[in-house]
Amino acid sequence: MMPKATGVTEEFVYQAVTGGQFQIRSDGSVWRVAQRRASRWNKNVSLTAVSPRRIDETVSGGYRLVKLMIAGKQVTAVAHRLVYRHYMGPIPPGLTVNHKNGIKDDNRPENLELATYAEQVRHARNILGRLPREQRGEHNSMAKLTQKAVREIRRRRTAGEKLATIAADFGIRYQQVSRIAHGDRWAHLIS
């Protein structure tokens, strides 16, 4: 899953690009080319040229992030969104930037396009041959129960055991036991 790094923080980082502190190259890489310096005496801020250093780094998930300090706080932006804005213009609300070839750190402008979330899923499935990850049951990162536990809950509830007793044994609320027993939760798992 792509990290959330849009909105206000992205705007701060993009202003640093347009202000001359960073440079976005035609290969989609982001480089620090100047350092902000504030005078101790009059608090004026100026840019001083520095030896160029690449600052977009790959994170788990494959995307490249740009991190910098603004007013003593670290802000982060997703590099492909900065590249798209720099070369193609603003990103309208409700749209995302899609990598045409599916390689998440290939931020060349010709590899980026606008898409809705639904279009990105279709692109991943139809063009790249990737199936969406299974999110039900144990595959959901938020799941507290296993399939075995759900079957045991249903078996015990069918046998007439009280909701509160079952809930206490599995560390969940009695309402969840009821929903599982009735098939409102874990409906894909039919015993």
Residues 51 and 90 in one domain: yes
CA distances from 128 to 121, 160, 164 (A): 10, 50, 47
In a domain, 1, yes or no: no
147, 76: one domain:
no
Q: Are residues 151 and 78 in the same domain?
A: no
Give CA–CA dist 54/29, Å, rounded.
7
Model-level pTM? 0.64
Structural domain including 97 reads 8-127
pLDDT tens profile 33-77: 998 777 778 878 788 899 999 999 998 788 999 988 777 788 889
β partners of residue 97 = 114
- Please name the helix (run of DSSP H) or strand (run of DSSP E) that holds residue 158, with its range, or none: helix 147-158
Q: Hunting for tokens 């909105």 — which residue is that?
A: 7
- Burial environment of residue 89 by CB neighbours within 10 A (0 to 12, 13 to 18, 19 or more): exposed
